[in-house]
Amino acid sequence: MPRKIAVILSGCGIYDGAEIQESVITLLRLDQRGCQVQCFAPNVSFAVVDHLTGETTGERRQVLVEAARIARGRVKDVREARVGDFDGLIIPGGSGSAKNLSDFASKGPHCSVLPDVLALAEAFAEERKPVGLMCISAALAAKIYGPTVTCTLGKDDATAAVINQMGAIHQACEADDIVEDVERKLVTTPAYMGALSISEAAAGINKLVDRVVEIARAGQGPS
């Protein structure tokens, strides 16, 4: 049977939502691995950033509506997600993870995760189902798994210090590779936290997706 993977998107666009290239690469690789995928997003508003200038516009939009751009309309409110329906969970990066899924961008180590997103991610952790966090989404690992969880955001010493302050164990990693917390079945990759090209980002993302699928298959019996 094909593995069923949930993907949480945080909008559409690196500066105020899900990183588009990371999200599309994730969805492509999942399809190549024969997985059934359902995208989810929180139905909350966010402050829009002009991706040409990098400046906020003063406009507000809905994360769920914007995520539908990436998912080609096939996205559901994260409150509809049930851990029992899926074999694994992946959250691409982008500033939306630090602004819309959490308030990491403004509060750093004192951040909190959106309750609906946290509840779903914790359910996957409790069920010992694999989770993949890429780019800045890995900053949420300590909130999901608690202290001593191992993760990576690449080789940025400043960000690593914040992650360690949150109780996680940060492991430096090249953009084209992954870090796995074997005990917790958590896989992380730096993606555009370190990648200088889409090919470099894709190399790490593909490894993350492949590993999440492999863990899901091992944990749920033969395909």
Provide the 3-class DSSP secondary structure of residue 82.
coil
Between CA 57 and CA 52 the distance in angstroms is: 11
Distance in angstroms (rounded) separating the CA atoms of residues 159 and 145: 18
Provide the residue type at 62 as one letter: Q
CA 196 to CA 203: how far, in whole Å? Answer: 12
Interacting residues of 152 by C-beta distance below 8 A, sequence separation 6+: 138, 170, 171, 172, 173, 178, 179, 188, 189, 190
Name residues whose C-beta falls within 8 Å of residue 157's C-beta, 6 or more positions apart in sequence: none
- And the tokens for 60? 């507000």
**Residue 151 catalytic?**
no
Residue 5 main-chain phi, psi, to 5 deg:
-120, 130
Which one-letter amino acid corresponds to residue 89?
A: L
Measure the CA dihedral 150/152/157/158, to 10°: -90
Catalytic residue among 12, 35, 135, 151: 135
Number of residues that make up the chain: 223
Catalytic residues: 135
